[in-house]
Structure 1
Amino acid sequence: MQFYNLGLIIGLSVASGPCILLLVLGALLISRHLKQRKARALREKFFSQNRGQLLKQLVSHRADIAERMLISLEELEKATNNFDQARRVGGGGHGTVYKGILSDLHVVAIKKSNIVVKREIDEFINEVAILSQINHRNIVKLHGCCLEIQVPLLAYEFISNGTLSDHLHTEEPRSLAWKDRLRITNEIAKALAYLHSAVSVPVIHRDIKPSNILLDEALTAKVSDFGASRYIPIDQTGTATAVQGTIGYLDPMYYYTGRLTENSDVYSFGVLLVELLTRRKPSLYRSSEGDGLVMQFLTLLAHDNLSEILDPQVVEEGGGQVKEVATIAASCIKLRGEERPTMRQVEMTLEALQTPNESVSELIEETNETMNYPRTNKRAKQGESSRCYSLEEEVLLSATYPR
């Protein structure tokens, strides 16, 4: 009897083993299927949500763009080896940038946000809406976006040589050659002039600074980071917005009025010119009198003593062009926006500086008069006041803006 029971147990065990194994495998397959189904549903939810926002942004422009710019999550995972840390090429507190190769063999930089907040999503969608309609050699190209994740992923052309800030603020005593600095400023001016006046609906960048200017292997400038950018309808002279920008580059009038115009980009560009001339960071610099970089630059320019703050390499290599660029910068950072030149005027003047012919000086002088540039001769120094601005205006310019 005992042998019979033992045999029965063994027989049942042998017979039920495959059944249990099948049950376990079945449970695993069902669980995997449910996870895949849930993930697919989530991706479809995010796609619908993000695509809806994108289409809303594009509804008055080119709605078809939303379709041709789409890249699947699977494609981007394959391009980055599932976002392998070895493919990480940059990033900070707000996001990470990965290098990847798409199936069409385009090398791209894939921007992935670390923060899941509505503002981040809005900025990503805004960037897609703007960059998908722009085609300029000095503006970073957007290859597409992935909307199947909570915060969309953006795939740009990969620019391999870092930012203008990286090249400018090195530990080395020498930085970019003067001829490269002059050409780079002209390329940035061309890009901004294009955004302000050559696209169907003008675009204000709102965050022009060296860290948002990418450089390729030939040191060609590419304006990037359009998350804070805004459209300004042609029939409007400006628009009221929540203030966005970076301390030191932010237009004081925009900061205090909340009214955004093309002049705000002009001011930021002027600060960038000052930074290129001095290799000083506007957010960190303070003179012995407590003045910020912009105020100190203007004071020294008015006293014809700019060499005190200029990068020695600029003094050595720039010659007479330095004075002209400094004058352009001073015009761009005038307190009143309506007194600043347009980016088109700035572009023309910088272009003239690089044109090797006898009429350059006349063209620069003619453009300067059109822009009403401040003069830096003895009469300016010996006038009723040696200050470029009133005390009230100086306070505005040298203040540390609370954010």
Structure 2
Amino acid sequence: MAVVLLVLLVLLLTEPGFSQTDNHDNDTNDRIGFFCGRNAVTSLPNFAKNRNATLNDLRMQLLSNRVVYAKAQALSAGDPVFAAAQCRNYLSVDRCVACFDAGVSELTNCSAANGYVIFDNCFIRYEDFDEFYTDPYFMMDGTGSQYLSCGNNQSTSRPTFNQGVDGLLSNIKDATPKTSNYYVASITQVTSENATVYATAQCIANINQTICQTCMNAAYDKLTTCLPSTQGRFSDMACFVRYSELPFFDDNQTTDITTVLKGHSRKLVAIVAAAVGGVVLFFLILVLWLFYRRKKSKKTAQGPSDLNGAVYYDYKDLKLATDNFSQANVLGKGGFGEVFKAILDDKNIVAVKRIQVQHAGGKEEFENEVKLISNIQHRNLLRLLGWSSQGSHLLLVLEYMPNGSLDRFLWGAQRGTLDWNQRYEIILGIARGLAHLHDEFHFKIVHRDIKSSNILLGDDFRPKIADFGLARFQPEGQSHVSTRFAGTLGYTAPEYALQGILSDKVDTYSFGIVILEIISGRRSTELRPYGSSTCYLLEDAWEMYENTKHINVIDETLNLNKYEHEHVTKIIEIALLCTSSPASDRPIMSEVVSMLQEGKSSGKIQLTRPTFLRYEDRRIRISHANPKDMDTTQELQTDTEMTN
């Protein structure tokens, strides 16, 4: 009996996924709503740059993450843009992206700070505020956001057709807000016409059930006025509903709404309860008890149980998952501690970073950092999955990156396996991650230690920046701060190494060095003879640039065609621009992203010669605003930071 009940419960909880099927008879994608708002922009070029960056981010999420809903934002240089896009669940990835591209071509004609476009297959909306993510009706610009379209053809058997479609629309009205993804696709047979009517409903992700239900009620009221038309569409800022005699999704893409409808679900529960009686009660008590035990073993009362998805783990569980922090499971070592491979729940592979803090207030500082980074989520930033803070044991649970760190593919065992396209995508991904830290989050976060060993690669070689949460975030409104030094030999900006002056341009400098490493396959600290002297990588690249010998900087393992040679040359110039001195001559990272995407280099602009630091004694004098902050000299960090 318990097994039967378990199967029934699984069926009740099962939801359809994002289908990749392309077999459909009706491939129309009519535009049913379009609006350019009235919200003025401060600077049209800045606004256009932010909107383009946001729309590009949305497209990449839909294409790469295979999702039907995505949101993104760009906040640099004023005129912030917040945007969201959603496709219908029955679409393939290609059809979803095609619909998105059609919407972008419409919206780029708008010059206002808000607008939206709605198609049969998708919608896109952007605003200069983010409250619309959870409340689509918040501060609506203008009226008439509801759209209703009734077909021209009418059914020949009106009473039967009207009754069948009315019942179908009523069912999806009640079922859609009760599903986990606010989506339903269903069909009904009209026997008098020997026809099938297809209907789908979808509420916007992130809203609550009440808003979804209100919108579905409005959709039902409007669409029933279309009857006996053989098709109808309704769209509001919170939902979309469509019915048609022509199929626009496959028969195998329907939702079993009988299990989520109020009356049917209660009847099913009553039947099951009567059949199994006391076994049900015993089974449920057992499940609750096991769930409580498992939850208690993972989470303790010593810390918050959840920070935006980051789970608080018991130290003993992490110790067990790492086999007592066995050296056999070490993935990397660095200035902050060690990283261990761990297996949670006997199946999930993660990376556990053991933080070493040796100053008073370190635990409180660590917990504050956890609260900050748990709210940072970006496709090019390493995701925090969990944490633990018990006594002196400070641990972070992070994504496991199977390909390890970037440096392994530049001069390690995997050297020469990355082609130019992969290297370019890695460069662009790092830039996007830094731009998010600098300009797109609530606080400006300066990493301070960007280097190849802190760039981790996933299965698809998508780069993710690690250790960004271990830096201090920069107070808003300050162009730079004087701070405790934390950097690595060969990557550190001169104003930070020599004077302790920290700004986002410190990361820009380090990023420029990483670009040169990716292109050359050389360590930044590797000395090579040039003329009568020896040069580090940056010096060598600058000399080659001045003598128009860019080709000599390129990794000899790369087999480039003529176009790729030209592209690499432009990227080298962007790298040198990032390392310019003084720091004010360097671009901000959002500008770097634009240059990389558009393939533009510095053009005819004269690059500023970088300040070359000589590291022979590996000790650099650092000035501090507060002499008590540290000693007057600080040795540059040379070890390999924690890598997965």
Regarding TM over 0.5, the answer is: yes
Deviations 1:347-387 (A, max 9, x none): 1121223xxxxxxxxxx26xx46xx8536xxxxxxxxxxxx
Task: Letter of the 1:260 partner, please give it.
Answer: L
Contact kept in structure 2, 1:127 and 1:225, CA below 8 Å = no
Change (3 A) 1:310 1:68: closer
TM-fit CA distance, 1:283: 2.0
Aligned-partner Cα distance in 2 for 1:342–1:173: 30
Residue 508 of structure 2 is aligned with which of 266, 271, 282?
A: 266
Change (3 A) 1:373 1:190: farther
Is the aligned partner of 1:319 residue 2:565? yes
Contact kept in structure 1, 2:384 and 2:396, CA below 8 Å = yes
TM-fit CA distance, 1:174: 2.4
Residue 595 of structure 2 is aligned with which of 332, 349, 362?
A: 349
Deviations 1:80-121 (A, max 9, x none): 3443444443335763322223349543101124x5622876
Residue 385 of structure 2 is aligned with which of 143, 153, 156?
A: 143
Change (3 A) 1:151 1:277: same
**CA-atom RMSD, angstroms?**
3.0
Task: Letter of the 1:374 partner, please give it.
Answer: Q
- Give the structure 1 partner of residue 498 of structure 2: 256
Is the aligned partner of 1:181 residue 2:423? yes
Contact kept in structure 1, 2:508 and 2:588, CA below 8 Å = yes
TM-fit CA distance, 1:173: 6.6
Task: Letter of the 2:478 partner, please give it.
Answer: Q
Change (3 A) 1:125 1:211: farther
Aligned-partner Cα distance in 1 for 2:480–2:569: 32
Is the aligned partner of 1:244 residue 2:490? no
Contact kept in structure 1, 2:445 and 2:473, CA below 8 Å = yes
- Give the structure 2 partner of residue 4 of structure 1: none
Q: How is 1:97-246 mapped onto 2 (pairs within 5 angstroms)?
A: 97-103=339-345, 106-113=348-355, 115=356, 117-118=358-359, 124-125=366-367, 127-170=369-412, 174-226=416-468, 228-246=470-488
Contact kept in structure 1, 2:410 and 2:522, CA below 8 Å = no
Aligned-partner Cα distance in 2 for 1:293–1:305: 14
Is the aligned partner of 1:331 residue 2:331? no
Change (3 A) 1:271 1:303: same
Change (3 A) 1:218 1:399: same
Change (3 A) 1:280 1:126: farther
Change (3 A) 1:85 1:280: closer
TM-fit CA distance, 1:71: 1.3
TM-fit CA distance, 1:65: 3.3
Q: TM-score, normalised by structure 2?
A: 0.45
Aligned-partner Cα distance in 1 for 2:334–2:586: 34
3-state SS of 1:274 partner: helix
Contact kept in structure 2, 1:291 and 1:398, CA below 8 Å = no
3-state SS of 2:319 partner: helix
Once the two structures are aligned, what percentage of the paired residues are identical? Answer: 30
3-state SS of 1:152 partner: strand
TM-fit CA distance, 1:304: 0.2
- Give the structure 2 partner of residue 340 of structure 1: 586
Task: Letter of the 2:358 partner, please give it.
Answer: V
3-state SS of 1:205 partner: coil
3-state SS of 2:488 partner: coil
Aligned-partner Cα distance in 2 for 1:138–1:279: 22
Aligned-partner Cα distance in 2 for 1:122–1:169: 38
Aligned-partner Cα distance in 1 for 2:615–2:331: 35
Change (3 A) 1:287 1:315: farther
Task: Letter of the 1:216 partner, please give it.
Answer: G
3-state SS of 2:535 partner: coil
Q: How many residues were matched structurally?
A: 315
- Give the structure 2 partner of residue 281 of structure 1: 523
3-state SS of 2:512 partner: helix
Change (3 A) 1:118 1:281: same
Contact kept in structure 2, 1:266 and 1:332, CA below 8 Å = yes
Task: Letter of the 1:311 partner, please give it.
Answer: D
Larger helix proportion of the pair: 1
Aligned-partner Cα distance in 2 for 1:327–1:210: 19
- Give the structure 1 partner of residue 641 of structure 2: none
Change (3 A) 1:121 1:316: farther
Change (3 A) 1:149 1:283: farther
Is the aligned partner of 1:299 residue 2:531? no
Deviations 1:302-337 (A, max 9, x none): 110122332123463532101100110110000111
3-state SS of 1:341 partner: coil
Contact kept in structure 1, 2:382 and 2:398, CA below 8 Å = yes
Q: How is 1:87-98 mapped onto 2 (pairs within 5 angstroms)?
A: 87-91=329-333, 95-98=337-340
- Give the structure 2 partner of residue 374 of structure 1: 606
3-state SS of 1:290 partner: strand
Deviations 1:13-53 (A, max 9, x none): xxxxxxxxxxxxxxxxxxxxxxxxxxxxxxx9xx97xx6xx
3-state SS of 2:312 partner: coil
Aligned-partner Cα distance in 1 for 2:539–2:420: 23
Change (3 A) 1:314 1:84: closer
TM-fit CA distance, 1:258: 1.4
Deviations 1:105-163 (A, max 9, x none): 543101124x5622876775465244212000111111111101413011101111110
Contact kept in structure 2, 1:140 and 1:223, CA below 8 Å = yes
Aligned-partner Cα distance in 1 for 2:311–2:538: 41
Task: Letter of the 2:390 partner, please give it.
Answer: E
3-state SS of 1:133 partner: coil
3-state SS of 1:218 partner: coil
